[in-house]
Structure 1
Amino acid sequence: MTEPLPWPATPPAHGSVVLREFADTDGQLALELGEDPYVPLIGSLPAHPTGREAEEWVRRQQTRHAEGRGFPFVITADETVVGTIGLWLRNLSEGAGIVGYSVSPRHRRRGFATDALKAMTGFARTVPGVERIELYIEPWNRGSLRAAEKAGYRREGLLPAHQEIGGTARDMLLYVKP
């Protein structure tokens, strides 16, 4: 395993949000996100997690950086935990960082995703090797599409059957911030 890139000395922030490392106390976020019908389909969080499963998910997020996978952050607004966002580096050899994000259902439609994307974009620009930032969004996900566009990302194209979600190959829209 290669040495992970350094964690940011100053937490990324924009507008109403600050991005911070996962803490042991973030299990409630996992419980909230696990109740969403979509979020468990796109990652390692089980649907309707137990308290123990939520704690295990938080621990997995805490190890991702040391494993060299990327930078998982918790999105906070006025110190309230509202979601998660990550910069993933599996395509770093191609100059690309991939951003994924989820906002807890009870905190949606308040601009947190847009502010988190702007904060993450600023941070991603400091990561050696990241020349392009990519988002993969399902065409039906209007909230995520709005957040991406408000954060200055542009649609580059439709990728048919690009990603498996919930056991089905799904079309994804590719949004980029060159």
Structure 2
Amino acid sequence: MLPQKVPTVESGRVRLRPWRLDDVGVVQSVADDPLIPLITSVPASGTLADAEAFVRRQQGRLDRGVGYAFAIALRETDEAVGHIGLWTQHLNEGRATTGYWMAPSHRGSGLLTEALGVLKDWAMAHEEIARLDLFVEPWNEGSWRAAETCGFVREGLLRSWQRVGDEPKDMFAYAITR
């Protein structure tokens, strides 16, 4: 049974844990990223108030029935370097979805792949989840390579699947099943 609180899950170099207000620095560090604010709820302003509001939204996701929002933290220092979620709106159908972002200073380090593997293993250990979905833009090779490394299978291309900014974008559909 899925927990009623966002847990802390660790492996190797990463720790997935609940968001804390002292994590605002990583939110501010991605506010000027050309894509993260377009496809997530990260504020483009970069202000402290808006970054704190982002963290508070993540802290309330489970209570609102949306799912589990985790800060991706370095296990050694507990510094937040990214975000990963397990979204459970379709749990009654045995499905969940994941999505993530990583601070630019930690991209290409393998931390995202490790965090995705930790989330996948934790999610699939719960009998309520028979399928875990992931959607990635075709150009985002780092993201889809991480998914494939973690055992996700590309099932196809969904044309104009998700609006990014003002434009519908194609997405690769990935999934892992029991």
Q: How far apart are residue 108 of structure 1 and its match?
A: 0.7
Residue identity matched to 2:90: N
Taking structure 1 as the reference length, what is the TM-score of the superposition?
Answer: 0.92
Q: How does 1:32-111 map to 2 (within 5 A)?
A: 32-77=29-74, 78=76, 79-111=78-110
CA shift in 2, pair 1:167/1:5, >3 Å: farther
Q: Distance in 2 between matches of 1:137 and 1:91?
A: 19
Q: Distance in 2 between matches of 1:162 and 1:138?
A: 10
Taking structure 2 as the reference length, what is the TM-score of the superposition?
Answer: 0.92
1:123 maps to 122
Considering only aligned residues, what root-mean-square deviation do their CA atoms show, in Å? 1.5
2:6/2:62 contact within 8 Å kept: no
1:152/1:177 contact within 8 Å kept: yes
Q: Distance in 2 between matches of 1:68 and 1:152?
A: 27
2:6/2:70 contact within 8 Å kept: no
Where does the alignment leave 5 or more consecutive residues of structure 1 unmatched?
A: none
Q: How far apart are residue 125 of structure 1 and its match?
A: 1.6
1:175 equivalent to 2:174? Answer: yes
Q: How many residues align?
A: 174
Q: How far apart are residue 128 of structure 1 and its match?
A: 4.7
1:164 maps to 163
Residue identity matched to 2:72: I
Give CA deviations for 1:11-33 in whole Å, capped at 9, x if unaligned: 22222111000011111111012
Residue identity matched to 1:129: E
